[in-house]
Structure 1
């Protein structure tokens, strides 16, 4: 299928499966405001100290004001500059989109650059999201170019036009002791290269409607990406369900990505990864979620060791504003990046 029909199919799928975008879903955000405010009072620094923020009653009337007010605090807590004379870690951030161009790709680049300046890593971007989906150019991604970095972050999608050598070089890069970070739609990348899925941990199968009010269960309260969260994290975003087994011709309708009909080459398993966050379906209203069951297992963020390197993935990051002004999410993604780069254990 050409990319143009795929893009049309994605728009149709969004209309069929998704509620209005969470960025405009004020009711959904207000519904979880009390829990979000409590959450933000538990934000911890990467040194493990707990910040107690005095309650601001006026903030209860305006979620975005509360988020903006705490963003600077969260960043200040997270600031971990390199020691004197020590160079920051170097991170390459790719945002090329072969299937669907999220509006959050630009804000994500801007956020990660800013977070890096305060947290010990320097970010290089190539603004891949600005390229036409049919003319993506990765000619720059040579072994020598990649070797200058300590990690690669991808918020990409589709079967990107890497050469076979480039695909192998990316995996060898991580296996050698470097870091990999996948954000949101990265799990829709390289359905044609299952070795990538082995490193990432799994492949997207379907999304929950945008604007879903979810409660995330924190399964590891000590990891740098989650230790600021307490035991649960209420959030409005787009959440994913991952393929549980490889596609097989005996059951052709199973283990297909519902948006673009990609055949899932490998199934997600907890045996491969360390889960950090999962949907707490017992704490959620599933009346509008026909694809979820109470007590089901729906991981949303995880880590894994890959050779001598580290891989971190989070399904979160669909909304533009979650990157620019949500201090809890920004702490989450920063902790994951720092862990993958070896800046934290």
Structure 2
């Protein structure tokens, strides 16, 4: 499903794309890639990367390969702590329910970053992610919970998009994107397109 949205973006950015849904691709030498785009999520709490896969992925990013990830990537490989350290966060729950098109607002908190250039605050109807987030992230956008579903979450603010670095590599993550309708929101597409371009290996 995500191919319908990502491939035109990657084409516009001038990227040559290798596509796979085979997790064992992470066993290969990944250092030749400028960017690894992740939307893997099979929703298994017992799923994890092998030590070799973690070493390959983290080593490639440390050497300069970028990571661009969205939505379910923060719920993937739940037993691999180093993977979530790399991504910068870990999904905990969507209080309104799995797959529920719950309306919520995302507020851009850093309008001066190249990833958010021209991106306005936006409204989506999707899974509103409540996450555990690394304080070392550079937060770009956030959402505030109303407490409608869980009253004790009223006023709680959770980052929804951020950047970070890992060695020489750059990491971009956005929590929005359960459905194509969310991803096709012009501001979401712009945020992610610029995030993908920012995260890709630097020419220098």
**Corresponding residue number in structure 1 for 2:193:** 334
**Corresponding residue number in structure 1 for 2:53:** 166
Looking at structure 1, the residues matched to 67 and 189 of structure 2 have their Cα atoms a distance apart, in angstroms, of: 17
Contact 1:277 1:302 in 2 (8 A): yes
Distance 1:197 1:140, change over 3 A: closer
**Corresponding residue number in structure 2 for 1:120:** 14
Q: CA deviation at 1:238?
A: 1.4
Looking at structure 1, the residues matched to 49 and 86 of structure 2 have their Cα atoms a distance apart, in angstroms, of: 16
- The alignment status of 1:287 with 2:174, answered yes or no, reads no
Query: Counterparts of 1:91-102 in structure 2 under 5 Å?
Result: none
**Corresponding residue number in structure 2 for 1:259:** none
Contact 1:312 1:340 in 2 (8 A): yes
- The alignment status of 1:176 with 2:66, answered yes or no, reads no
Distance 1:112 1:343, change over 3 A: farther
Contact 1:217 1:278 in 2 (8 A): yes
Q: How many residues align?
A: 197
Q: Which has the larger radius of gyration?
A: 1
1:152 to 36, 56, 60: 36
Distance 1:141 1:342, change over 3 A: closer
Backbone CA RMSD of aligned residues: 2.2
Structure 2: 5+ residue stretches without partners: none
CA deviations over 1:178-224 (Å, ceiling 9, x no partner): 10111101111222221111111111111142222212121111223
Q: Give 1 or 2: higher strand fraction.
A: 2
Q: CA deviation at 1:291?
A: 5.3
CA deviations over 1:12-50 (Å, ceiling 9, x no partner): xxxxxxxxxxxxxxxxxxxxxxxxxxxxxxxxxxxxxxx
Looking at structure 2, the residues matched to 195 and 163 of structure 1 have their Cα atoms a distance apart, in angstroms, of: 11
Q: Give 1 or 2: higher helix fraction.
A: 1
CA deviations over 1:259-305 (Å, ceiling 9, x no partner): xxxxxxxxx242x1011111145xxx5434435222x2211111111
TM-score if structure 2 supplies the norm length?
0.85
Q: CA deviation at 1:227?
A: 2.1
Looking at structure 1, the residues matched to 113 and 134 of structure 2 have their Cα atoms a distance apart, in angstroms, of: 20
1:221 to 103, 111, 115: 111
